């Protein structure tokens, strides 16, 4: 397995001005993401198209986040987030894949990631800018079963703990409670890459925070002979509380 090192993202923390919140802040949110899947999964040089061949559709997803901001100098703020995507479908293999002959197959794909982000607030007024580093525990699994021969099945897996650069920016419209923003994580190293970004509009009423926007995750990761080169994107809505 090719390892991704901390070098790509760590400069963000080292270079970030150590600006922090003036008071203690805590927030949590949950969201629904209507994501479409495209791309390929490969094993032992055999590749399958997850959309055109496997016909995978969204079965459900889980998205949640939690953050803590504090006024302690030098110590970074902390955020946790969790994403899980489950897709399944009945498709048609055009060529043999990992011992499964061409023909009708049933497939299930699970993608899961847990993020720990350490970040600094560089700007904190009507323009907000955060920079930091995310450590992501990523896993992907594709299971495939032949519908004409029950003895033929396949499992493709990838697991990794990856460091990603983190950036988040938000522009508040004074006296309205409305704002627009964007944020994301990224890394690229030795042929492997991952990016995860979103853009959104937000409206805040007292402690309630409502968002709607667009999110995209793109993964190109090789774990031994197993390769995930997939993209998920689509609109999302979220609700959260901030204190």
- pLDDT of res. 162: 92
- pLDDT of res. 7: 41
Low-confidence residues of the chain: pLDDT under 70: 1-22
- pLDDT of res. 45: 82
- pLDDT of res. 200: 98
**Stated pTM of the model:** 0.87
- pLDDT of res. 128: 93
- Which string of b and e fits 186-200 if b means at least 16 CB within 10 Å? bbebeebebbbbbeb
CB atoms within 10 A of CB 37: 21
- pLDDT of res. 20: 57
End-to-end CA, the chain? 42
Cα three-residue angle 59-194-31, rounded to 5 degrees: 40
Number of alpha helices (DSSP H) and beta strands (DSSP E) in the chain: 1, 12
- pLDDT of res. 47: 93
Judge residue 230's burial from the number of C-beta atoms within 10 Å of its C-beta, 0-12 exposed, 13-18 middle, 19 or more buried.
buried
Backbone phi, then psi, for 44, in 5-degree steps? Answer: 50, 45
**Dihedral of the CA atoms 169, 171, 176, 177 (nearest 10)?**
10
Say how many residues make up the chain: 243
Domains of the chain from N-terminus onward: 7-238 (2.40.128.90)
Question: Rounded to whole angstroms, how far apart are CA atoms 233 and 92?
Answer: 24
200, 180 Cβ separation under 8 angstroms: yes
């Amino acid at each position: 397995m090719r390892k991704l090192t901390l070098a790509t993202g760590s400069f963000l923390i080292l270079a970030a001005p150590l600006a922090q919140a003036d008071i203690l802040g805590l927030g949590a949110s949950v969201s629904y993401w209507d994501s479409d899947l495209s791309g390929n999964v490969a094993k032992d040089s055999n590749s399958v198209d997850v959309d055109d061949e496997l016909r995978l559709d969204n079965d459900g997803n889980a998205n949640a986040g939690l953050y803590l901001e504090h006024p302690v100098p030098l110590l970074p703020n902390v955020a946790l987030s969790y994403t899980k995507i489950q897709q399944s479908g009945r498709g048609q293999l055009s060529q043999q894949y990992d011992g499964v002959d061409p023909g009708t197959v049933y497939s299930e794909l699970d993608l899961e990631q847990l993020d720990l982000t350490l970040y600094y607030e560089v700007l904190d007024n009507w323009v907000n800018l955060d920079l930091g580093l995310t450590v992501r525990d990523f896993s992907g699994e594709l299971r495939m079963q032949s519908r004409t021969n029950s003895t033929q099945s396949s499992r493709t897996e990838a697991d990794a703990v990856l460091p990603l650069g983190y950036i988040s920016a938000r522009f508040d419209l004074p006296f309205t409670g409305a704002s627009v923003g964007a944020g994301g994580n990224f890394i690229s190293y030795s042929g492997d890459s991952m990016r995860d970004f979103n853009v959104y509009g937000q409206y805040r009423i007292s402690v309630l925070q409502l968002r709607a926007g667009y999110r995209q995750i793109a993964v190109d990761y090789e774990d031994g002979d197993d390769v995930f080169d997939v993209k998920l994107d689509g609109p999302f809505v979220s609700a959260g509380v901030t204190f």
